[in-house]
Chain A
Amino acid sequence: MDVMYYGDTLIVDLPTGKTEQVEFSPEMLTENGPGLAAGIALYRDHEDGDPLVFGSGLLTGTTAPASSLGFVLGKSPLSGELAVSPLSLFSGAEMKLSGFSMVVIKGDSPKPVYLWLHDGVADVLDAAELWGLDTWGTTDAVRSEMGEQLVQVVSIGPAGESPSKLSAYSINYWGSGDTAALGARMGGKKLKAVALRGLGMLDAEEPQDFYEGAKGLLSEAPAWKGFNKACEGIDAGDIDGWLKPLVHRYRSCFACPAACNTFVKYNEGPSVMESTGVEEPGMLVTGAASAAWLLSGGWKAEPACRAMESMARAGIDLIRGARELAGSPLDDASETEEAVGGLSGGEEAGWPGGDSSPKGLFGPWVPPLADEDEWLLANRIGYVIGICPTYLLASGMETSGLFGLCSSAAGVELDPSMVAGMFS
């Protein structure tokens, strides 16, 4: 049975710097379920090593709509409970294609290291020169070392190194939906980054059926730009209108028909298309919640975006950071860095207009677009099959078509109740 994963499970023992590859068998999936369900089983198997588990869903990295989602799983320093945070943008797909089905990172390293996972090869590399760099510097340094800009770098900044409970890992330069401070767990492990790249291919069990199924879903998949569609019905404000004067372009995560992520320019004109030599023209805003907090607090877009950049660079959770900053808007862009430096981490993650996000395994990265049960099911399905839950909720896409793809891709039969059962 082709299970839509290739490569072994990688066990990284940070205290010794050694790695071991163990077979990722189809039974792993039949007994536990794919994606996050398999990740949780692996976490339990290695719980004594206080692991972080990196993994991806069944359809992650395929042509299924919004098949961008991977995950990081570990014990949250905030709650002491098991928590999952997303690998979005292109990092989930690269996780899938790294040549490792799942990665279990155990124990703490005696010195700073980073993991380079490529085509089924795992290298534990010295990170002495990266330690102390912010996430932007780290991403640049790792990509330069590997000689390729498409390497996905999941890294921590100074906040994770300290390790501050306000920290979050960042996906490349742009922050992440890590609201469980798993970045602090990386810091505690002296794990500066996990870099991912693979040139392999996924084989569907029934390629023609899969192709036709994915094509059919894509042809009907709703598309949009910006954040407003993914925040409909919640009190997030007009984020797109607020950012509009700075917008340069919109960007999708891997295989997503929508393009929430919004690149804003504030160090040069947003309409400038050609490269003008300005080194850092702006940033990619990837989180609706952080933008919504700053908007609700009366921030102007430019200083707000600069504040988000500072948080992303430092490796601070953008949602909690923005919530704390929301109450004291700054007009002067030059003051934002200092304000970010003074964050205490006293706020909980959530959305403005009533914190309706349930506590537990999933953080509030996915907007509360439905009642609690539906929201929880979308998260569970999303992380099991690798489809962005925000897309599931905002698009209203029927999950039956996606489950059909699981069948033609890997011969895995799923339905919502089976997925719910994996978490019982």
Chain B
Amino acid sequence: MQGRSRRAAGDPVFDRYRKVFSEGSTLYPRIAVYTGSGASHSWIWFADIFDRLGLFDVRFIDESSVRDTGLSGFDAFFIGGGDTYEMAFSLGEDGARAIEGFVRDGGFYFGSCAGAYLVLSGVDLEPFTHFNLIDGAMLNSMAAPPEPRCLEHKYKSAYGDGWVFHPVYGEVTVTGQHRAIGQCVNAPLFGGPVIGRAMPEDVLAEYSRLTERAAYLWPRREAEEFMIGRAAVLRSELDGGTVVVSGPHLEHPLYTAANALAAEVLTEHFKGRSGRVSRPSRSAASNSDTAPLLLEIKRQVSNARIVGFGLEKMPVAWRLGHKVWEPEKIRMFLECAWERLPFMEEHAELMGPSGGGLEPLARGYADVTRISKSLKMRIESGRDSQAEASMLLLSLKELTARFLSIYFRLRLETGFGRD
């Protein structure tokens, strides 16, 4: 996984977009990524794609930021996978209004999976009714879906009086007319919507094939009949803004062609726009505390990922809200920090007094190590691990957001963004 991801990151397809964003004719956007209630782990893939595109003006925000600031100061807002109900409930009507205002003001909204369900218009159910940015309805819901053939825990979640269900879990192919798609693009579908009742001009791509690298929760032929030809990716203009929703995760780090499609719609939105060019001033004096703090973070992230690797061998999963979390998610958060630590070590001297917030991170990762070990012991001794796992996953999510905020700030400071 690490090697494939690293190779994908070096794909020359990203050179073009880096160039576009580093030239003056396309706005270098300030980006917000939603990491609040309901967000699962998949938002960390946005961090990967932004790294690849050279977009470093990135913040990671939760529902209260969305509600309180109305996304002001941001040019793009990304929401990934997770528990749509929890997202909608936490963002509430104020959050929905903030997002809509942001888009009508010229903002770019990108929602994949849960972030796509969230803003589809055809939902008449609280707490979703305030979120409708784009015409389209999820077709993968019914009162009594048939029993799945496998992956029961991934198959369905409650939705009103019925269920949202997922006939396929894994890689799918989408096809469309957009030049970035070419023949077709593969991307993983991890519970995202199959979309109907969309405006034909909004359909950027349809499901065209289900691949061997997918698990079939329905018999394959029935899944194909249900999905093929149905909309997978939509794009629509709303006043001055753009809304893009995708069932599959176009941002997944192993799918460079899908990443390129996401990059293409992003550049199309920002092309010709001008605006603020954000470049924080360099931090003041270097600080001798920084290197030991980074080493402590490295130590604890390493310790925790070693325990996390061990947890992956255990037959256990946890439910947070409507979402099932497997132990692999623990290491995904940790790898996200681990892969970026060398860059931070290299530029430690720029991190300013107290390492610009590294100390709480070091403490946080030490707690993560401690909780991971205790969680493992709890599972080994056959005790219930739900509460401890929830605590661990939530604190990992929060820590990773803080870590990435520091990382991207440093990236921006080191001059890799637009001058």
Chain A residues within CB distance 8 Å of chain B:
118-121, 123, 146-151, 197, 199, 201, 203
Provided the pairs A147-B372, A147-B376 are in contact, do residues A119 and B302 lie with their beta carbons within 8 angstroms? Answer: yes
Measured between beta carbons, the chain B residues less than 8 angstroms from A119 are 298, 302, 305-306, 338
6 contacts between A and B (CB under 8 A): A119-B305, A146-B306, A147-B303, A147-B310, A147-B376, A199-B306
Provided the pairs A147-B372, A147-B376 are in contact, do residues A197 and B306 lie with their beta carbons within 8 angstroms? Answer: yes
User: In the complex the two chains form, what is the Cα distance from A119 to B369 in whole Å?
Assistant: 15
A121 near B302: Cβ-Cβ < 8 Å: yes
Per-residue interface assignment for chain B, residues 331 to 349, with 1 indicating a CB less than 8 Å from any chain A CB and 0 otherwise: 0000000100000000000
Measured between beta carbons, the chain B residues less than 8 angstroms from A121 are 295, 298-299, 302
Measured between beta carbons, the chain A residues less than 8 angstroms from B306 are 118-119, 146-148, 151, 197, 199
User: In the complex the two chains form, what is the Cα distance from A149 to B307 in whole Å?
Assistant: 9
B205-236 CB contacts (< 8 Å) to partner A: none
Measured between beta carbons, the chain A residues less than 8 angstroms from B302 are 118-121, 199
Q: A121-B299, A147-B369 are in contact. List 7 more A-B contacts (CB 8 A).
A: A120-B298, A121-B302, A147-B376, A148-B309, A150-B310, A151-B306, A201-B2
User: In the complex the two chains form, what is the Cα distance from A119 to B2 in whole Å?
Assistant: 14
User: In the complex the two chains form, what is the Cα distance from A121 to B2 in whole Å?
Assistant: 19
A148 near B310: Cβ-Cβ < 8 Å: yes
Measured between beta carbons, the chain B residues less than 8 angstroms from A199 are 302, 305-306, 309
* Secondary structure dominating the interface of A: loop
Measured between beta carbons, the chain B residues less than 8 angstroms from A203 are 3
User: In the complex the two chains form, what is the Cα distance from A118 to B2 in whole Å?
Assistant: 17
User: In the complex the two chains form, what is the Cα distance from A146 to B300 in whole Å?
Assistant: 11
B295 to chain A, nearest CB (A): 7
Measured between beta carbons, the chain A residues less than 8 angstroms from B309 are 148, 150, 199
Measured between beta carbons, the chain A residues less than 8 angstroms from B279 are none
Provided the pairs A121-B295, A121-B298, A201-B3 are in contact, do residues A149 and B303 lie with their beta carbons within 8 angstroms? Answer: no
Per-residue interface assignment for chain B, residues 357 to 389, with 1 indicating a CB less than 8 Å from any chain A CB and 0 otherwise: 000000000000100110011000000000000
B4 to chain A, nearest CB (A): 11
B28 to chain A, nearest CB (A): 33
Residue ID in chain A nearest B373 by CB atoms: A147
Chain B residues within CB distance 8 Å of chain A:
2-3, 295, 298-299, 302-303, 305-307, 309-310, 338, 369, 372-373, 376-377
- Most B CB atoms within 10 A — which of A119, A151, A201, A203? A119
Provided the pairs A148-B309, A199-B305, A201-B3 are in contact, do residues A123 and B372 lie with their beta carbons within 8 angstroms? Answer: no
User: In the complex the two chains form, what is the Cα distance from A119 to B305 in whole Å?
Assistant: 10
- Most B CB atoms within 10 A — which of A118, A120, A148? A148
In-complex Cβ contact of B307 among A123, A146, A201 (8 A): A146
User: In the complex the two chains form, what is the Cα distance from A147 to B380 in whole Å?
Assistant: 11
Closest 6 interchain pairs by CB? A147-B373, A147-B307, A119-B302, A148-B310, A121-B299, A118-B302
Measured between beta carbons, the chain A residues less than 8 angstroms from B2 are 201
Measured between beta carbons, the chain A residues less than 8 angstroms from B3 are 201, 203
User: In the complex the two chains form, what is the Cα distance from A151 to B309 in whole Å?
Assistant: 11
B310 near A149: Cβ-Cβ < 8 Å: yes
Residue ID in chain B nearest A118 by CB atoms: B302
Residue ID in chain A nearest B302 by CB atoms: A119
- Most B CB atoms within 10 A — which of A147, A151, A197? A147
Residue ID in chain B nearest A202 by CB atoms: B3
Residue ID in chain A nearest B1 by CB atoms: A201
B401 to chain A, nearest CB (A): 23
Measured between beta carbons, the chain A residues less than 8 angstroms from B310 are 147-150
User: In the complex the two chains form, what is the Cα distance from A151 to B299 in whole Å?
Assistant: 15
B196 to chain A, nearest CB (A): 43
Residue ID in chain A nearest B375 by CB atoms: A147
User: In the complex the two chains form, what is the Cα distance from A147 to B371 in whole Å?
Assistant: 10
Measured between beta carbons, the chain B residues less than 8 angstroms from A118 are 302-303, 306
Residue ID in chain A nearest B305 by CB atoms: A199
A148 near B305: Cβ-Cβ < 8 Å: no
User: In the complex the two chains form, what is the Cα distance from A121 to B369 in whole Å?
Assistant: 15
User: In the complex the two chains form, what is the Cα distance from A149 to B376 in whole Å?
Assistant: 11
- Most B CB atoms within 10 A — which of A123, A149, A199, A201? A199
User: In the complex the two chains form, what is the Cα distance from A203 to B6 in whole Å?
Assistant: 11
User: In the complex the two chains form, what is the Cα distance from A361 to B299 in whole Å?
Assistant: 36
B375 to chain A, nearest CB (A): 9
Measured between beta carbons, the chain B residues less than 8 angstroms from A150 are 309-310
User: In the complex the two chains form, what is the Cα distance from A147 to B3 in whole Å?
Assistant: 26
